Amino acid sequence: MKKIFQPILLGLGVAVALLASCGKKNAQPMESSTPTEKAVFFESGYSDVNGLKMYYEIHGEGAPLVLIHGGGSTIQTSFGNIIPDLAKNHKLIAVELQAHGHTSDRGAPETFEQDADDVVTLLQNLGIAKASFFGFSNGGNTTMQIGIRHPEIVDKLVIASAFFKREGMLPGFFDNMENATLENMPADLKAAFLEVNPDSTKLLAMFNHDKNRMQGFQDWDEALLQSIQAPSLVINGDQDVVQNSHAALMAALIPGARLMILPGNHGSYMGQVEGAYKGSKTTELTLAVIDEFLNGE
């Protein structure tokens, strides 16, 4: 049963305006690994977003790419292993969603639609008119909702290990969700949350938000995916918690979408902390395909 619970909780997965809305801001070049490498720009801060103090990080320079983590996760647990490579060619805007990591809790239920609106409001606060989006697990669901609800702000979408119908998940996923407790949450994810937000009551609140959202999830109409007009890349692991046939269906429904299924489990293909395979070359392949997709016509 632990093997089912762990993927559940992984998936649970204008300058003036900025100055007015950010409660904390820190900008600096990141140290390069060798003296000859150019330092990578880094900035972190909080922005007032629809009743939240929303945490964000900016890494690198170039075309904007928004990183949206999975459920129960932080920026670092979902993307920490690939941010250095992605930041070489992109201006990364990595976010932490309601009640996750550094970001506050508005005390209302979590929804993919509200998460999408929160991310778009943050970008407006930062003066970013258009961006590409890379969402993992629950973040992939949020990424699809951005494409559905806010097409005007979207350049391209990378949708990784996400779903839009309950039947798309492994058998038993939603049944086992009924009995999930904080004890079932992977230790690495709990430790990462407490490292940036050392309040166990907030950890439990985040867990309950994610669990309740998944328990109450209602299938999305196929027409919603068919309405996405942005070029999209759908990614899945061949041993993922999302069934490969479901990922293929999503790619078929989103007009012109591309599909990539890689060997690995939930997030191992992109170095996600709980699924990463040490020494695997699959992450390099994943990043190469994503980079080619984002930079292509």
User: Among 15-24, 91-100, 254-263, 265-274, which stretch is predicted with the lowest mean pLDDT?
Assistant: 15-24
Q: Hey, which bits of 151-241 come out as E strands?
A: 154-160, 232-237
With a pLDDT cut of 90, the percent of the chain lying above it is 82
pLDDT over 70 (residue 8): no
**Phi and psi (nearest 5°) for 20?**
-75, -30
Superfamily of domain 2-15+41-295: Alpha/Beta hydrolase fold, catalytic domain (3.40.50.1820)
- Are 70 and 12 contacting, i.e. CB atoms less than 8 angstroms apart? yes
How many other CB atoms sit within 10 Å of the CB of residue 50?
14
Q: What is the mean pLDDT of residues 79-101?
A: 97
Tens of pLDDT, residue by residue over 103-138, are 999 999 999 999 999 999 999 999 999 999 999 999
Structure confidence at residue 31 (pLDDT): 44
Q: How far is CA 208 from CA 19, 125, 164, 211, 245, in A?
A: 33, 29, 21, 5, 29
Tens of pLDDT, residue by residue over 272-295, are 987 777 778 999 999 999 999 999
Rounded to whole angstroms, how far apart are CA atoms 263 and 52?
A: 38
> H or E segment at 162?
none
**Phi and psi (nearest 5°) for 10?**
-75, -35
Domain range list for the chain: 2-15+41-295
- Are 137 and 131 contacting, i.e. CB atoms less than 8 angstroms apart? no
Q: Is 141 helix (H, G, I), strand (E, B) or coil?
A: helix
- pTM here is 0.89
